[in-house]
Chain A
């Protein structure tokens, strides 16, 4: 199975899981979506998501049944809802499937492929924009940090920093426009066709 077909099928199954209500359907569609990408790239099943991302959904799945649902279990001597627990697990699983699909797309498609895809779909200047963005990033970043430092130097406290924020915004935008004008002139002189 090609990677594009794997991605399309997994996305379709993920969407079906998104619309499906009861947890069994969520597990079924999510499991199938996961299988589609694992068949092509097993390492996508280990998404590079930080541990902190899982803390909230896991806590929600484990603790929510103490407060809501039909209490049919006893955990640590307290009433616990098994339905709410399964429902919470289905939410965690859904998030895991989404993270895995995102990891699959990130691992299997390069920036060049995305650029050529966008250009084929009608966004003709996408490649030029990305190249310009990557090369111009350093200039804009340095310029913006320098503008902010200069602005901060002349203001002692944060209240005045916030009060004159429009001055900082206009200076930053004006500097960016000046840089853009220089690049545009350079493109024009060099005969860059758009």
Chain B
């Protein structure tokens, strides 16, 4: 890589990282304050759009990870202080998007896949952060309580499965919307 290309790589990925970090700091903090439902999926979708569109300007392996690291650093030093949830979310999303964009290149398929995986990361994120925060055995305890609550309120036995399915479907919808936006935006920018 020539010196001018190295400079462009560092600057572009950092600027897109700032954009994601700014979105997390401004919109993410606001949504958290107003307790917006599915705010994790919404922020993950916005992050996925930035990662996909940012990659079109620096189509080099590792660019998405560099963007994510800057966003993570900004989130860590933001006014609210270090929060494990968003930090883990940014890290996982970045790695997923990097993997997809490196394997499939810049295409409609890769954008769709990256956005879907990033939005669905919210589902995995719940399990990872809960395991890290509360330790082994938390899910067994959750299941025992959910079963007890189902009996207490007279809900059918598999009711929790329907709740989880709804939760996953909403994440899917967010991912689909993010893919649609990133593909259309990339076309507008003449990058796809």
**Partner-B contacts on A (CB < 8 A):** 17-21, 26, 48, 57, 60, 64, 66-69, 84, 87-88, 90-91, 94-95, 98, 102, 106, 111, 123, 125-126, 128-130, 132-133, 136-137, 140-141, 144-145, 165-167, 169-170, 172-174, 176-177, 179-181, 183-184, 187-188, 192-194
Contacts and interface: CB of A to CB of B under 8 A. Distances in A.
B185 A166 contact: yes
B174 to A, nearest CB: 12
Given A21-B137, A68-B145, A84-B141, A132 B132 contact: no
Contacts of B135: 17-18, 20, 26, 90-91, 94
A188 B4 contact: yes
B102 interface: no
Given A91-B134, A102-B84, A133 B181 contact: no
Given A18-B136, A21-B136, A173-B54, A194 B181 contact: no
A94 B134 contact: yes
B73 A130 contact: yes
Nearest to B133: A95
B188 interface: yes
A169 B181 contact: yes
B134 A57 contact: yes
A166 B50 CA distance: 11
B14 A129 contact: yes
Contacts of B19: 140, 144, 172-173, 176
Contacts of B134: 57, 91, 94-95
B10 A194 contact: yes
The size class of the interface chain B forms with chain A is 35 or more
Nearest to A177: B57
B76 to A, nearest CB: 9
Interface string B3-18: 1101110111111111
A114 to B, nearest CB: 9
Interface of B: 3-4, 6-8, 10-19, 21-23, 26, 49-50, 53-54, 57, 66, 69-70, 73-74, 77, 81-82, 84, 131-138, 141, 144-145, 147-149, 152, 180-182, 184-186, 188-189
Contacts of A136: 14-15, 18
A188 B13 CA distance: 16
A192 B3 CA distance: 9
Given A106-B81, A170-B188, A137 B145 contact: no
- The secondary-structure label for the interface of chain B is helix
Contacts of A57: 134
A123 B62 CA distance: 12
Contact of B22 (A17, A60, A129, A141): A141
A67 B63 CA distance: 49
Contacts of A133: 14, 17-18, 21, 70, 73-74
Ranked 7 nearest A-B pairs via Cβ: A67-B148, A68-B144, A166-B184, A91-B134, A170-B185, A180-B15, A170-B188
Contacts of B4: 184, 188
Contact of B133 (A84, A94, A123): A94
A184 B57 CA distance: 13
Given A48-B81, A87-B141, A137-B21, A183 B136 contact: no
A51 to B, nearest CB: 14
